[in-house]
Structure formats: C-alpha cells, structure tokens
C-alpha cells in the first residue's frame, strides 16, 4: 500500500509518500519560519495563505521524488485537526481533490494521533508504550 500524506496544521507545508512497510519513499517540506520570525510567532492568516501558495508545489515535488503519479497511490491522507483552521482547510481540500480525481480513498488524520502513533511507524514499537504529548 502506498499513501500520500499532506500536513498543513500550522506553519509548515509538508507531504510524504509512505508504503505499508513503513518506508518513507519521499518527503518534502516548505518551512515558513523566516516569514513568521519577525512577528515572534505564527500569524494564522499568513500561514494559511502560504499553504495556498505552496501546497500543490509540495505535493508535486514529493510525487516526483517518489517517481509516482496520483494514480499509483492507494490512498490520500491529510491532517484534519487540531490545528490552525485556515491551514487545515488548504491541506484537506487539496487531499480531497486528489482523492476525487484519482478515485482513491481519503483518510482524515488527527494531528495528535499522528504524533502519538509515530513511534510505532518509525521504530516498530508495540503496544503498550508510554507517551508524553505536550
């Protein structure tokens, strides 16, 4: 199984292609740190507008790196919350559009669940395990 994941919950536009063997086939990130640092924090409206400008480019780039098209994917996932609503809407809309065009399932992913379950993905950690998520 090959899944495209899109993450736009705050101030970075990111995408990755992973397979069911927990292999990251490709990943791309566009950071907004430089834009927000003069405000000493994330400005939600600026973050959302940057996601609009870069989400398609990040997705295109990650698919090129993985040498895949949207039709090679088995599913499309995106962060559905919690996060900044403007950014979340950009990633969700992009993922849902790709899902509709490619006729592949769409998966809405909880941002906090993603962080909590990542040790299982990256380190093959079995349940139970203790996690501090702040």
Q: What is the CATH number of the domain that holds 7?
A: 3.30.420.40
Mind listing the pLDDT tens digit for each residue in 33-71?
A: 999 999 999 999 999 999 999 999 999 999 999 999 999
**Is 134 within the bounds of a domain?**
no
Would you list the DSSP string of the chain? -EEEEEE-SSSEEEEEEEETTS-EEEEEEEE-HHHHHTTTS--HHHHHHHHHHHHHHHHHHHHHHHT--GGG-SEEEEEEESS-HHHHHHHHHHHHHHHHHHT--EEEEEHHHHHHHHHHHHH-PPSP------
Q: Please indicate, yes or no, if residue 128 is contained in any of the structural domains.
A: no
Asked if residue 37 belongs to a domain, the reply is yes
Residue 52 inside a domain? The answer is yes
What gap in Å lies between CA 78 and CA 23, rounded to an integer? 18
**Mean pLDDT, the chain, integer:** 95
What pLDDT score was predicted for residue 40?
Answer: 94
Dist. CA 90–CA 93, nearest whole Å: 5
Residue 24 domain-assigned (yes or no): yes
Contacts of 87 (CB under 8 A, 6+ apart): 8, 9, 10, 11, 44, 47, 48, 51
In a domain, 129, yes or no: no
Structural domain count of the chain: 1
Residue 12 in any domain: the answer is yes
Q: What is the extent of the structural domain holding 41?
A: 2-123
Q: Which of 20-29, 72-81, 117-126 has the lowest mean pLDDT?
A: 117-126
- Greatest pairwise CA separation for the chain in angstroms: 42
Q: With pLDDT > 90 as the criterion, what percentage of the chain qualifies?
A: 86
Those residues with Cβ within 8 angstroms of residue 100's Cβ, 6 or more apart along the chain or in another chain: none
Which residue would you say has higher pLDDT here, 54 or 134? 54
Q: Looking at the domain assignment, is residue 113 inside a domain?
A: yes
């Amino acid at each position: 199984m090959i899944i495209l994941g899109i993450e736009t919950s705050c101030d970075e536009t990111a995408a990755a292609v992973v397979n069911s063997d927990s292999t990251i086939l490709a990943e791309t990130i566009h950071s907004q740190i430089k834009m927000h640092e003069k405000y000493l924090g994330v400005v939600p409206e600026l973050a959302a507008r940057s996601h609009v400008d870069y989400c398609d480019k990040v997705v295109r780039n990650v698919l090129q790196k993985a040498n895949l098209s949207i039709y090679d994917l088995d599913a499309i996932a995106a962060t559905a919350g919690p996060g900044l609503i403007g950014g979340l809407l950009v990633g969700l809309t992009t993922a849902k559009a790709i899902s509709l065009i490619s006729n592949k399932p769409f998966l809405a992913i909880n941002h906090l669940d993603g962080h909590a379950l990542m040790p299982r993905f990256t380190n093959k950690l079995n349940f139970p395990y203790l996690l501090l998520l702040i």
